Amino acid sequence: MTMMDTIRARHSVREYDGRAPEGEALAALRAVIDECSRESGLNIQLVLGNPEAFQVVARFGLVHGVDTNIAFVTANGGRDDEAIGFWGQKIVLAAQEAGLNTCWVAMNSRRKNKAACAAGEKVRIIVAVGYGKTQGVTRKTKSVEELSTVECAEAPSWFAVAMEAAQLAPTAMNNQNFHVTLREDGKTVSIEAPKGGWNTVDLGIVKRNFQEAADELGADWRWES
């Protein structure tokens, strides 16, 4: 599968069959968590045997039948949010490639999470990971025209694919509160999201999807500094 195949196949799953990740899937999950922790400097933990972490009713229902989560632990409050989204989504996509299903879970029981937290640290957000009863469903999305602006005369072909990846990125309550701009040079890309809520985590998630798609095509592009 290509990365775009993975992005298209991955959906948020809230109903799991009770099995924990095992075998090659578990090994792949541990490896990508170790890689992302090392490269990002974030405290990312794989927490097994912890169904209590999901015992909170979220606005769109319960996440249940799952006892494994990926916990993002920080002492920085929301200041790590973009990095959490960016590196967390890399783990989510790797989990999908390994045959696992996932769901970002902002509404969770941090008090009942078994992640190791030092003094001053808290669980910021978690990702449910396991074997879904289904593969999830495609969500309604905003159009690419709503989500992006092209300032150059004609957008290169890779931009449409990268924007599809951004369009498919999971966001809190599916709000898609982000906007991508391709600058006049046809290479420089900026992305913005409003402050507040989980928008900054979402920003990181969207950036990861966009970057994976653009890089897979060998595009000549860069993020605006």
% of the chain surpassing 70 pLDDT? 98
pLDDT at res. 55 = 87
pLDDT > 90? residue 58:
no
Q: How confident is the model over 36-57, as pLDDT tens digits? A: 999 999 999 999 999 999 987 5
For the whole model, what pTM was predicted?
A: 0.96
What domains lie within the chain, and their CATH numbers?
3-130 (3.40.109.10), 144-223 (3.40.109.30)
In tens, the pLDDT along 146-188 reads 999 999 999 999 999 999 999 999 999 999 999 999 999 999 9
Print the SS3 string covering the chain: CCHHHHHHHCCECCEECCCCCCHHHHHHHHHHHHHHHHHHCCEEEEECCCHHHHCCCECCECCECCCCEEEEEECCHHHHHHHHHHHHHHHHHHHHHCCCEEEEECCCCHHHCCCCCCCCCEEEEEEEEECECCCCCCCCCCCHHHHEEECCCCCCHHHHHHHHHHHCCCCHHHCCCCEEEECCCCCEEEEECCCCCCHHHHHHHHHHHHHHHHHHCCCCCEECC
- Residues 83-118 have pLDDT tens digits of 999 999 999 999 999 999 999 999 999 999 999 999
- Of all residues in the chain, the percent with pLDDT exceeding 90 is 94
What's the pLDDT at 62?
Answer: 78
Strands lying side by side in the sheet with 101-105: 43-47, 69-74, 122-130, 101-105
Q: Which of 186, 168, 212, 14 is nearest to 178 (CA)?
A: 168
Numbers of helices and strands, H then E, in the chain: 6, 8
Average pLDDT over residues 67-80: 96
Please list the residues that pair with 41 across neighbouring strands: none
Quote the pLDDT of residue 57.
59
